[in-house]
Amino acid sequence: MTPTVAAGAEATAVERVFREAYGPAVATLIRIFGDITLAEDAVQEAFVVASDRWRRDGIPPNPAGWIVTSARNRAIDDLRRSARGRELHEQLGAVATASHGPGADEWGEDAPVKDDRLRLIFTCCHPSLRPEHRVALTLRLLGGLSVDEVARSFLVSEPAMAKRLVRAKYKIKAAKIPYRVPDEADLPSRLGSVLSVLYLIYNTGLDAPERASLRSEAVRLARALVELMPDEPEAAGLLALMLLSESRVPARSAEGALVLLRDQDRTTWDRSMIEEGQAIVRACIRRGQPGPYQLQAAIQAVHCDADSFEATDWAQIVELYDQLLSVMPTPVVALNRAIAIAEVEGPRAALTTLDEIASDLDSYHLLHAARGTMLRRLGQRNAAREAFERAAHLAATETDRRFLAQQIEELAEDGALMEHRPGRSTGSSNEASAR
Amino acid sequence: MSTYAVEGEVEGAPSTPEEMEAFMEPVAALEDEMEASGTFVFGGALHGPDAATVLRVSDGDPVMTDGPFVEAKEHIAGFYIINADDLDAALAWGRKVVEAIDHPIEVRPFRATGRVQA
Question: Residue ranges of the domains in chain B?
Answer: 36-112
Same domain, A97 and A8: yes
A119 and A72 in a common domain: no
Which positions in chain B touch A128 (Cβ < 8 Å)?
Answer: 87, 91
How many angstroms separate the CA atoms of B54 and B69, rounded?
Answer: 6
Q: List the single residue in B2, B85, B88 with the smallest CB-CB distance to A182.
A: B88
**Any domain includes A136:** yes
Closest chain A residue to the Cα of B89, Cα to Cα: A178
Please indicate if any CB of chain B lies within 8 Å of the CB of A178. Answer: yes
- Give the CA-trace dihedral at A138, A139, A143, A146, to 10 degrees: -140
The Cα–Cα gap between A414 and A425 comes to: 9
| pLDDT at residue A123, rounded to an integer | 95
Same domain, A57 and A144: no
Between A and B, how many residue pairs show a Cβ–Cβ distance under 8 A? Answer: 21
> Whole-number mean pLDDT of chain A?
86
Cβ contact (<8 Å) for A177 and B2?
Answer: no
- Of A101, A134, A152, which residue constitutes the final position of a domain? A101
**How confident is the model over A346-379, as pLDDT tens digits?**
999 999 999 999 999 999 999 999 999 999 999 9
Residues belonging to chain A = 435
Domain boundary among A205, A232, A264: A205
The per-residue pLDDT for A424 is: 42
User: Is A328 within the bounds of a domain?
Assistant: no
Q: Count other C-beta atoms under 10 Å from residue A250's C-beta.
A: 14
Within a domain: residue A139?
Answer: yes
Q: How near does any CA of chain B get to the CA of A128, in Å?
A: 9
pLDDT of A284: 96
CATH class of B36-112: alpha beta
- List C-alpha distances in Å: A78 to A89, A92, A105, A166, A366: 10, 13, 19, 21, 54
Name residue B55's beta-bridge partners. Answer: B64
Decide: A197 and A190 in contact? Cβ < 8 Å.
Answer: no
Q: What span, in angstroms and rounded, lies between the C-alpha atoms of A112 and A31?
A: 10
* Inside any domain, residue A122: yes
Q: State the pLDDT confidence band at B16, using cuts at 50, 70 and 90.
A: confident
d(CA A88, CA A76): 10
Do residues A122 and A142 share a domain? yes
Region of A47 (left: φ > 0; alpha: ψ -120 to 50; beta: rest) is alpha
In whole angstroms, give the CA distance from residue A233 to residue A38.
35
pTM above 0.90, yes or no: no
Question: Which residue range(s) make up the domain with A74?
Answer: 3-101
Q: Is residue A24 part of a domain?
A: yes
A121 within some domain: yes
Q: With contact defined as beta carbons under 8 Å apart, do A72 and A109 qualify?
A: no
Same structural domain, A123 and A94: no
Judge whether B63 is closer than 8 Å to chain A, CB to CB: no
Please give the tally of structural domains in chain A. Answer: 3
The reply to whether A12 and A57 lie within a common domain is yes
- The answer to whether residues A88 and A117 belong to one domain is no
**Nearest residue on chain A to B85, judged by CA atoms?**
A176
pLDDT at position A84: 65
Identify whether A117 is part of a domain: yes
A218 φ/ψ angles, rounded to the nearest 5 degrees: -65, -40
Burial class (CB in 10 A: 0-12, 13-18, 19+), A161: buried
Closest by CA to B35, choosing from B46, B27, B45, B25, is B27
Predicted confidence (pLDDT) at residue A10 exceeds the cutoff of 70:
no
Last residue of a domain, one of A205, A236, A252: A205
CB contact under 8 A, A176 and B109: yes
**Would an 8 Å CB–CB cutoff place B109 in contact with chain A?**
yes
Any chain B CB within 8 A of the CB of A49?
no
